[in-house]
Structure 1
Amino acid sequence: MATGNFFQEVEVPEQKPQGTHGVLFPAVLSPTTNTKFTVFKEAIRVQKPWLESLLNERGVILFRGFPVTSPSDFNNVVEAFGFPEAPYVGGQAPRTKVIGRIYTANESPPDIRIPFHHEMAYVPNFPTKLFFFCEEEPGSGGETPIVLSHTIYKKMNKRHPEFVARLEEHGLTNKRIINDEDHSSSFTGKGWKSTYMTDDKNTAEKRAASLETKLEWMENGLKVTTGPLAAIRFDERNQRKTWFNNLAICKTCPMNGKVDDHDTYVELGNGDLVPDDVKEYILNIMEEECVVIPWKKGDVMLVNNMMVLHARKPLLKPPRSILASLCK
């Protein structure tokens, strides 16, 4: 089936110019003509090398105006790209399978803000690509902000070079205490059974060990310690360092040891705590540099998880239904 010049790049008001050439972030693609879903799938397969190149250049592609109307359509889009599926073993967010390779996005209360993070940066086996699909657009709020990770690294290194040097040397250690069952009141509220996809403690320990994670069983819960893991990574394709960690999403104070806390804590790999002013600056520059494009029904967003952090703004007016798929 011929696809011709099926994709065209368009502009939306929220995009921001990046770098010396002012290339817009993210890339936004629309169809050149009205088309059927089968043609869209075939165009993805035929033009996948160009789409991947664009993704690696820009960090995010937003597909807008394409005939994607259901979770099944979204699953077919993901499969058309042909990226291997990334398992969610060790993942902290409550999620539910919808169909095929498609899951709900984080199921914590939609009025809760989720800070910027790289997906599963707290384990060594993280996805490299993320797909999001707007099944039902929000009445107001509920956007998925995105920000380029190398920009955050450059600003952090300029403002806090000594801390960044220590971060590069020691990495980060993630800690949390969880119990058996999921708690959807928190965006990191998965219990150990669903985190490690088993109700057997020995199996959980083996799966945790493969993720450089240590489990300590407690009377009413489980202490989970992962790392230290690299918090600054080098993007070989673009020859630059990236701020590849979830520091903004974690508490930087000592753990309180409560099972019902459902929070994640982070410290430097040598045990030092992250200074409060460093954490505050991180949050501020992420908000300053991010791009926030309101969702429209049918939108598909493809994110390079190695280059881009994402977040979630509080939903101000329901409804909202965003689905996700993780890829290696």
Structure 2
Amino acid sequence: MYTKINKMMKIQPAGGWPKYHSYYLKKKTSNIHQRNYIYMKHQYTKRQSSQKMVAAVTGKFFQDVKLPQQKTQDDGVLFPAVLSPNHNTDPTAVELHDFEEAIRAQKVWLESLLQKTGAILFRGFPVASPSDFDQVVKAFSYVEFPYFGGIAPRTKVVGRVYTANESPPHMGIPFHHEMSYAPDFPTKVFFYCDEEPGKGGETPIVLSHIIYEKMKEKHPEFVAQLEKHGLSYTDVINDEDDPSSFTGRNWKSKFNTDDKSIAEERAAKLGLKLEWIGNAVKLTSTPLPAIRFDKESRRKTWFNTIAVTYSDPAGKTFSSAGGKTVQIGNGDPVPDHAVEDYFKIVEEECVTIPWKKGDILLINNLMVLHGRRPLLKPPRRVLASLCK
């Protein structure tokens, strides 16, 4: 951006200043102090002009875009927000550095928009690689959330960027809040489309407070139990990744150790009761909140992983996440009909926008549930980054 600004201002960039040299000659001065004064005065003027130029550019950098898949909420707010480079800006002239600078300059506004809408889709920006995505995430200056205690198989790609989920892409992933099954979880999740899907493979999202309100209206007693007792999750994890499951991360990766005694210590810190079954381990969580109160939005949210871990009495698992079960914190079973209605509600209320190469989706993990549609036509590569 600064190179562009210099060109626009007709100021030669760093790397030699013949313009100043000619100016000094015209002034016919050999006094070193006078030359330094002239130079510093010009630098100050240039710096002030550059700052004004940067402010002007970033102030108009983003524009709202409307997509047919967006939904209008009761308060008139579109979900999600969709931002692209301003229509007065030539998109081909926008560089990654411009995008980063605009994020830094407009971070307060972007955070306000995220809190208002729950999710922001950035489309049409020059993000061409995982490294570019990493730079964009860093521009927000959020604290990185280490993926410790997670159940999804993931691999680090670069910097703060990981694969989103390495399970077979033809499998769908139910709606969930990231790591809502753990006492500590990220508050923001970034997704990046590195390879645009041929067909399918979308990342649907839905506002969690709407799910809470709909479920409370339809199943008030069940929701009251969730608010009072929470949910307890049970999981059986092997010592090797299970590539057939989107929750198939092995216990060595989960606890970042292959030492069973260390794994036991780390499980205890996560509030997990651990029981060894050969080389596998059975983990049972203490009851965790299933409904949370978001202080910023002043709303209650459906903050749990019930869709990922639920199985009916016959052993049928809605999510194909074998070995995982859930029950109400007081030991009561989760009612089948309530979960069936939950699945219907999230499908009715969700927004599904097809990915485009270079898209970045930022979601407020306290407000929004996300999932994955089955990939119908390859390729597809979506990466992720978690933040506090």
TM range, smaller chain: over 0.9
Q: In the alignment, residue 286 of structure 1 is paired with which amino acid?
A: V
Q: Determine the structure 2 residue equivalent to 1:27.
A: 81
Q: Determine the structure 2 residue equivalent to 1:211.
A: 270
Work out whether residues 105 and 322 of structure 1, in 8 Å CA contact, stay in contact via their aligned partners in 2.
Answer: yes
Q: Determine the structure 2 residue equivalent to 1:265.
A: 325
* Stretches (4+) displaced over 3 A: 252-256
Distance in 1 (CA, whole Å) between partners of 2:311 and 2:114 is 33
Match of residue 170, structure 1, among 229, 245, 249: 229
Match of residue 43, structure 1, among 98, 102, 105: 102
Task: Mark the CA change 1:254 to 1:199 in structure 2 (over 3 Å): closer, same or farther.
Answer: farther
Name the stretch that deviates more: 21-30 or 293-302. 21-30
Query: Which is richer in strand?
Result: 1
- Report the Cα offset of residue 255 of structure 1: 10
Could you report, residue by residue, the CA deviation over 1:132-163 in whole angstroms, capped at 9, with x for unpaired residues?
00001000000000000000000000000000
Distance in 2 (CA, whole Å) between partners of 1:227 and 1:111 is 33
Match runs of 1:176-255 below 5 Å:
176-253=235-312
Partner SS state of residue 77, structure 1: helix
Query: Which is richer in helix?
Result: 2
Distance in 2 (CA, whole Å) between partners of 1:262 and 1:69 is 36
Distance in 1 (CA, whole Å) between partners of 2:95 and 2:270 is 42
Match of residue 70, structure 2, among 7, 11, 15: 15
- Report the Cα offset of residue 262 of structure 1: 3.9
Give the structure-2-normalised TM-score: 0.82
Partner SS state of residue 302, structure 1: strand
Alignment pair present for 1:305 and 2:360? no
Distance in 1 (CA, whole Å) between partners of 2:268 and 2:148 is 12
Partner SS state of residue 229, structure 1: coil
Could you report, residue by residue, the CA deviation over 1:169-212 in whole angstroms, capped at 9, with x for unpaired residues?
11000101111011111011011101111101121112111111
Match of residue 339, structure 2, among 279, 289, 292: 279
Partner SS state of residue 186, structure 2: coil
- Report the Cα offset of residue 219 of structure 1: 2.2
Alignment pair present for 1:316 and 2:352? no
Partner SS state of residue 125, structure 1: coil
Distance in 1 (CA, whole Å) between partners of 2:365 and 2:59 is 29
Partner SS state of residue 256, structure 2: coil
Partner SS state of residue 150, structure 2: coil
Give the number of equivalent residue pairs.
Answer: 324
Match of residue 107, structure 1, among 150, 161, 166: 166
Task: Mark the CA change 1:7 to 1:70 in structure 2 (over 3 Å): closer, same or farther.
Answer: same
Partner SS state of residue 228, structure 1: coil
Q: In the alignment, residue 340 of structure 2 is paired with which amino acid?
A: E
* Structure 2 unaligned residues grouped into runs of 5+: 3-53, 316-320
- Report the Cα offset of residue 220 of structure 1: 4.2
- Report the Cα offset of residue 4 of structure 1: 2.9
Q: Which has the higher contact order (CA 8 A, sep 6+)?
A: 1
Q: In the alignment, residue 386 of structure 2 is paired with which amino acid?
A: L
Distance in 2 (CA, whole Å) between partners of 1:102 and 1:254 is 39
Q: In the alignment, residue 27 of structure 1 is paired with which amino acid?
A: A
Task: Give identity over the alignment, percent.
Answer: 64
Give the structure-1-normalised TM-score: 0.96
Could you report, residue by residue, the CA deviation over 1:69-121 in whole angstroms, capped at 9, with x for unpaired residues?
00000000000001011111110000110000000011100000100000000
Work out whether residues 186 and 263 of structure 1, in 8 Å CA contact, stay in contact via their aligned partners in 2.
Answer: no
Distance in 2 (CA, whole Å) between partners of 1:87 and 1:174 is 21
Work out whether residues 62 and 300 of structure 1, in 8 Å CA contact, stay in contact via their aligned partners in 2.
Answer: yes
